[in-house]
Structure 1
Amino acid sequence: MFSTTSPQPALSRMTPQALQNVLPTDDLGEITTASPWCQRWRERQHSWRHTSAGGFNPRHYVLEPLAVRTAKEFVLRHHYSGSFPSAKKTFGLFNTSDGEPRLSGVAVFGLSVSRAVLERALPDLEANVASLECSRFVLLDECPANAESWFLARCFDELLASHVRGVVSFADPVPRHTNTGELVAVGHVGTIYQASNAAYTGRATARTVKLLPDGTVLNDRAAQKVRKQEQGHEYVEAKLMSLGAPAPRAGCNPALWLRDALRAVGARNLRHRGAHRYVFRLGQNQRERDRITLGYPELKPYPKRPDSSG
């Protein structure tokens, strides 16, 4: 499933003590929550932090609401997806150890592409108001181990204070490569959500996605913007032209142009078994959280390995 330059023991069969001295391979998306290794990002490239190399000190960090524009710039620069979703609440993790606050992480909570995604997961809550989707969560490689758990918990405190009672998040377990074979998305199982005791409720609907030559996905919503010339279609068209598609001619049929553009850039189909879905119920205590209905049965055990490459 994973390529590596040197043989390593199967991580799934190792004890937490044995894992202490085993560095994950570059291609490994995530490892078990018992592991002391934490994933970090910079310029859309992932790396690893070990808990023994300096733990997280909450006195050196603060959480602040973040302007959407600032959050978008950070995410586009560092997150492997290279995209930014619709955002309603954005938070920044700031490192204050040097005196001047430095943005070191961003969390984005926003509107789901379909209200049904939230309504089915949290049927008691008004979608996009009392329930939101956690669509981006990225920390720089300078953040020490365990920073993500503190950051996520503080985000939930802020959301609860603004009357948000539920959060749905997805982890994409499918590794993706460029047309030249470069790994750009390692495949995630939602390790941070598991470590934060999220309810695992299975996979989203399986589908076929359109994979562009740079390894990014052209999702259905983006394609629809081009076909219907809706707001944001220029960005999608510019993306395709940067990959080698011809510019659309005046008066051309947008749907036909999109078909030809995808063919021109060498887009390919990838069968996706569905992202892993996690649900958080927010409350001041366990009793309040338990009162919120889960729309799906909670499943055990948590998934531990990304899918094989498509």
Structure 2
Amino acid sequence: MITTRSQRWRDRRSSWVPAASEIDPRRFAVDVIDTVTQAAPFVRQHHYAASMPVTRLSVGLFRNGAGGHSELVGVCIFAHPVNNASVPKSAGLNNPRSACDLGRLVLFDDTGGNAETWMLSRAFKLLRQEKPEIISVISYADPIRRIDQHGQVFMPGHVGTLYSVMGSRYTGRSSPRVDLILPNGQPISSRAISKIRNAESGQRYAVEQLLQAGARAPLAGEDRVAWLADLEHAGFLRRQRHPGNHVYLFPLTRAAKIAAHGLPDLPYPVLDRSALAGDVTALPLLRMAA
């Protein structure tokens, strides 16, 4: 099935592939790849978030070249769920390890239309082979348009059109939240902030993220909660309300489909192409008419 447009990434900038183009399956292959040496460098270089989630399986899209040589042109990351509570809520499963998130999907802009669906269908099969305990995949679409300090859009926001094309189940939105936004327009994850505030394992890496973004270093003996509050007071961090990501479910087995029977099964959201900032989800027609 051909989508109207496909969003692609290269060097952390998005582009759109017209529907007139289409992937040539004879030139591509999909296989499991090493997370540390292959997937992580690719994602950090090309995905707008420039970060890797905690990964359970990495799958690569390869373009076949002359002389048996191949080039990595896309990566799919199956990640640990954002939290254990998301699995029963979004997949209807009690065991957190029985589901995973589609944490990252990054494809080059020259792989042709439909490359996402072609790659994902094969990646799901590899996931079942390599991790048979995983029977559902949860995917999130962030509808908030992200703009950097120069006024350039680096993440246009999306509503999950790819997931609807693949016949996934739309279950609604995740919980609304308040994001802390860096000067470059990137949100810093709530988990990273929590690690700093509560002095949890991994807080050093979270602090380093802020320092690399230009934050002042904590003073000797300065309480980390007070440090974060001062960064916000000084305007380095700003708050932005988020209505929640769109949530999609891919049940991969009959048992997964049965487990999902009690979940909402809602109409797919629609992209508002006229939106210049904020949530790019089109409002329901009844609400628009009100």
TM over 0.5: yes
**Equivalent residue, structure 1, for 2:115:** 147
Match of 2:93 among 114, 117, 124: 124
After the TM superposition, which residues 101-250 of structure 1 pair with which residues of structure 2 at under 5 Å, given as runs?
A: 101-124=70-93, 126-127=95-96, 129-161=97-129, 162-163=131-132, 164-250=134-220
Structure 2 residue 253 is the aligned partner of structure 1 residue 299: no
Give the structure with the higher percent strand.
Answer: 2
Measure, in 1, the Cα distance between the counterparts of 2:81 and 2:221. 33
TM-score, normalising length from structure 1?
A: 0.81
CA-to-aligned-CA distance 1:238-285 (integer Å, 9 cap, x gap): 2322333221233221111222234445221111111000001003xx
Match of 1:62 among 20, 29, 32: 29
Offset of 1:301 from its aligned partner? Answer: 3.9
* Pairwise CA RMSD: 2.1
CA change 1:125–1:93 in 2 (3 A) is: farther
What SS is found at the alignment partner of 1:248?
coil
Measure, in 1, the Cα distance between the counterparts of 2:25 and 2:169. 26
* Contact 1:71-1:90 within 8 A present in 2 as well: yes
**Poorly superposed stretches of 4+, deviation over 6 Å:** none
Structure 2 residue 279 is the aligned partner of structure 1 residue 279: no
Query: Residue type of the partner of 1:110?
Result: A
Offset of 1:154 from its aligned partner? Answer: 0.6
Match of 1:100 among 55, 69, 93: 69
Measure, in 2, the Cα distance between the counterparts of 1:165 and 1:192. 20
Measure, in 2, the Cα distance between the counterparts of 1:113 and 1:89. 15
Query: Residue type of the partner of 2:90?
Result: A
What SS is found at the alignment partner of 1:291?
helix
**Equivalent residue, structure 1, for 2:284:** none
What SS is found at the alignment partner of 1:299?
coil
CA-to-aligned-CA distance 1:162-214 (integer Å, 9 cap, x gap): 32210101000010112442212100111110110010011111111111111
Offset of 1:134 from its aligned partner? Answer: 0.8
CA change 1:171–1:139 in 2 (3 A) is: same
What SS is found at the alignment partner of 2:106?
strand
CA change 1:196–1:212 in 2 (3 A) is: same
CA change 1:183–1:156 in 2 (3 A) is: same
Offset of 1:305 from its aligned partner? Answer: 3.0
Offset of 1:102 from its aligned partner? Answer: 0.7
Measure, in 1, the Cα distance between the counterparts of 2:50 and 2:234. 21
* Contact 1:243-1:265 within 8 A present in 2 as well: no
* Contact 1:222-1:233 within 8 A present in 2 as well: yes
What SS is found at the alignment partner of 1:94?
strand
What SS is found at the alignment partner of 1:115?
coil
Q: How many residues align?
A: 273
CA change 1:295–1:133 in 2 (3 A) is: farther
What SS is found at the alignment partner of 1:88?
strand
Moved more, 201-210 or 220-229: 220-229
Measure, in 1, the Cα distance between the counterparts of 2:63 and 2:158. 26
* Contact 2:23-2:113 within 8 A present in 1 as well: yes
| Structure 1 unaligned residues grouped into runs of 5+ | 1-32
Match of 1:73 among 41, 46, 71: 41
